[in-house]
Structure 1
Amino acid sequence: MKKTEKNQRLLKLAYAGLMAALCYVGYTVFPAIDAAGTKIHVGNAFVVLGALLLGGVYGGFAGAIGLSIADILGGFAATAPRTFICKLLIGLIVGLVAHKVASISHNHDKAYIVRWSIIAAVAGLAFNCVFEPILKYIWYTILIPNADKAQSAIGSLLAVTSTVTVINAVTNSIIGVIIYLALRPVLFKTGLLGAVDGNYSESKTVA
């Protein structure tokens, strides 16, 4: 491995650690509101931000670790495994759309970056709206049988288009994308954050 590649990886690991901390803070400083079986919190916004900045793998693991720790320290250790899975998948999907499909770390105009950042964020959080209650249902039906919690999961799935769920996804998408758009020009122009899709050397990034 070249020295520059090793340094880039270490830098991304450092950023991932920072994003994990931000996910934790986003959940704990602004406590989740439980409404209709859906938790509204801004932790997911930092999962989105991490995936947009670092790619799906680093961003996904940062969110998964940060929010799992938040569950454990908050007295909800039983939900931590599901949180880890869901947040990791959010990051992977956002990163897939943003960097493998749209290559937003390359030289594109601002409208393109804004459009694909939003599409990526919505894709990841919309998936989570459906997947999380399905995982919860499977969890309490097969792995840890609990009829009441399994029924609650079904209720959440049926309410996936409810106002609460939509507000949750939209709020986190907006926050994550706005912060990304604010940070992107500085990070890329100063070279503090390289490409995440493997082709950075072919074109310089712009705001």
Structure 2
Amino acid sequence: MKNENITRLTISGLMAALCYVGYAVFPAINASGTKIHLGNAFVVLGALLIGGLYGGLAGAVGLSLADILSGYAASSPRTFITKLVIGLIVGLIAHKIAKINESHKNSYIIKWSAIATVAGLGFNCIFEPVLKYVWYTLLTPDAEKATAAIAALVALTTYATIINAAINSVVGVILYNALRPALYKANIFPVKASA
């Protein structure tokens, strides 16, 4: 049990660092106020490897830190919430519904890791602009930003958010399914994942 906790904590720290790198270091495209980056792929990877709570918290910490250090400190609380929710959704579907940590065929693992990833990042395409709208209408009123958030929601977020979700889904699923056999062989995986 102690070794599992140390392993989970270590992987959480690694995922937080990779989320930061995926956002702040890798080249990114800024489009219509949304940055296309690879940070969310590591949120997904963390949730698939160690469960939604730990993977989501790792992503929330790593990407909130990236916001703060990149000059977007005001958006870091929203980032924390959205990344945690992505991790929780991915973890719930992957570990509680599909039980991907149990012995299954590779095709089953690929299918369910893809379903969980698309569900988490797809939900984020709707949740993020709704959260921005609520944030700018109730918590920190700013009519201009609230209007922009609702316009993004009406337009089914923006093309950049959808492109970001698609790219991060593909990268996250590929990384997970590439790492999974190596981690089993090294006897590091499976760590009992939490939802």
TM score, norm. by length of structure 2: 0.95
In the TM superposition, residue 114 of structure 1 has moved relative to its aligned partner by 0.6
Query: What is the percentage of aligned positions where both structures have the same residue?
Result: 63
1:73 corresponds to 2:69: yes
Equivalent residue, structure 2, for 1:153: 149
TM score, norm. by length of structure 1: 0.89
**Which of 79, 101, 117 pairs up with 2:113?**
117
* Aligned partners of 1:30 and 1:42 also within 8 Å: yes
Paired amino acid for 2:54: Y
SS of residue matched to 1:18: helix
Task: Figure out how many residues of one structure are paired with residues of the other and give that number.
Answer: 194
1:131 corresponds to 2:160: no
SS of residue matched to 1:187: helix
Rounded to whole Å, the distance in 1 between the matches of 2:2 and 2:33 is 44
- Look at both structures and tell me which one has the larger radius of gyration over its CA atoms: 1
Paired amino acid for 1:188: Y
1:175 corresponds to 2:171: yes
SS of residue matched to 1:196: coil
Equivalent residue, structure 2, for 1:101: 97
Rounded to whole Å, the distance in 1 between the matches of 2:36 and 2:154 is 17
In the TM superposition, residue 196 of structure 1 has moved relative to its aligned partner by 2.7
In the TM superposition, residue 188 of structure 1 has moved relative to its aligned partner by 1.7
SS of residue matched to 2:189: coil
Equivalent residue, structure 2, for 1:11: 7
In the TM superposition, residue 195 of structure 1 has moved relative to its aligned partner by 3.7
Paired amino acid for 1:69: L
In the TM superposition, residue 167 of structure 1 has moved relative to its aligned partner by 1.5
* Aligned partners of 2:41 and 2:169 also within 8 Å: yes
In the TM superposition, residue 15 of structure 1 has moved relative to its aligned partner by 0.6
- After superposition, the C-alpha distances for 1:64-88 in whole angstroms (9 at most, x for unaligned) are 0000000011111110000000000
Paired amino acid for 2:9: L
Rounded to whole Å, the distance in 1 between the matches of 2:151 and 2:29 is 17
* Aligned partners of 1:90 and 1:128 also within 8 Å: yes
**Which of 85, 90, 103 pairs up with 2:86?**
90
- Give the ranges of 4+ consecutive aligned residues of structure 1 lying more than 6 Å apart after TM superposition: none
Paired amino acid for 1:82: R
- After superposition, the C-alpha distances for 1:160-192 in whole angstroms (9 at most, x for unaligned) are 265433211110000001011110001123211
* Aligned partners of 1:103 and 1:197 also within 8 Å: no
Note the residue ranges of structure 2 that are not aligned, 5 or more in a row. none
Note the residue ranges of structure 1 that are not aligned, 5 or more in a row. 199-207
In the TM superposition, residue 90 of structure 1 has moved relative to its aligned partner by 0.2
Rounded to whole Å, the distance in 2 between the matches of 1:197 and 1:84 is 21
Paired amino acid for 2:99: S
In the TM superposition, residue 41 of structure 1 has moved relative to its aligned partner by 1.1
**Which of 160, 165, 172 pairs up with 1:164?**
160
SS of residue matched to 2:47: helix
